[in-house]
Structure 1
């Protein structure tokens, strides 16, 4: 295994680990939601921090799970065209799509969220609710993690795709 293949495998493992963690977080989020509903409608009790925790978990699921989803080809694409292509053409579509679209979008997300996240950390931004969660700055940091995990998984895709283009007939997946 080449060094670049080892890097791609390590990135895959990282996003796989995060994806499995996110799966458990999703289950926990559902359980917390059930508890909120039972407390609210069964006992007329509500906790702002509990409701906000579901929103935090929901954001984390989508932001941190994006790299895992990319690894498993779960993002939207025009499959009607892609499925009809041969392996070489698919590899070119994956390579160019990653280089021309994924990377620029991810770097733009980091660039345009830079002050937003840093200002949140500078103030240790918390909930606007008195009894809410006082870690909004951590949630906003997930924006950078989202972009970073997608960039890493995109790098793994580029590595595998280049290897497959150099070895015609091999599948980069």
Structure 2
């Protein structure tokens, strides 16, 4: 493979590894928020912010951790016949199917960017009692989708390398 592709794969995987390792600790933030929600509902006045904040943390955890799970090959596959294929056949199928993922993520990013721009321009808020601004979580989502696109392209290059008998 060309040196530029090798550098691209190495750089994207390094960034997604770091972001994913940081994002995996958001589960503890989520647990803390839910614990505070239970405590405040039992002993104090219920907090207005806990439900939405827990949702925002879950979105950040899921979206920012997704590229790292793809990198670790921890995603779920329908393994009815896939497991019996040769590594080269798997690489061909993966290289083909990842193109659909890249297209889907591109459409998702396009919509996400438009929604984020709208949210920033008009100061969009959630329609709940707490009424937080929505642009911070929309930015996190766009960043996560962008990182997922970069990782999907890196996986495509790795699959092409496997097809050629090279390891990236």
Give the gaps of 5 or more residues in structure 2.
none
Q: Is 1:112 aligned to residue 107 of structure 2?
A: no
Give the gaps of 5 or more residues in structure 1.
none
C-alpha RMSD over aligned residues: 2.0
1:103 alignment counterpart: 102
**TM-score, normalised by the number of residues in structure 2:** 0.88
After TM superposition, where is structure 1 displaced by more than 3 Å over at least 4 residues in a row?
Answer: 129-132
2:154 alignment counterpart: 156
2:127 alignment counterpart: 128
**TM-score, normalised by the number of residues in structure 1:** 0.86
Q: How far, CA to CA, are the matches of 1:3 and 1:131 in structure 2?
A: 48
Q: Is 1:141 aligned to residue 139 of structure 2?
A: yes
Q: How far, CA to CA, are the matches of 2:46 and 2:131 in structure 1?
A: 12
Q: For the Cα contact (< 8 Å) 2:16–2:151, is it kept in 1?
A: yes
SS in 2 for 1:83: helix
Q: Is 1:71 aligned to residue 71 of structure 2?
A: yes
For residue 122 of structure 1, report the CA deviation from its aligned partner: 0.8
For residue 153 of structure 1, report the CA deviation from its aligned partner: 0.5
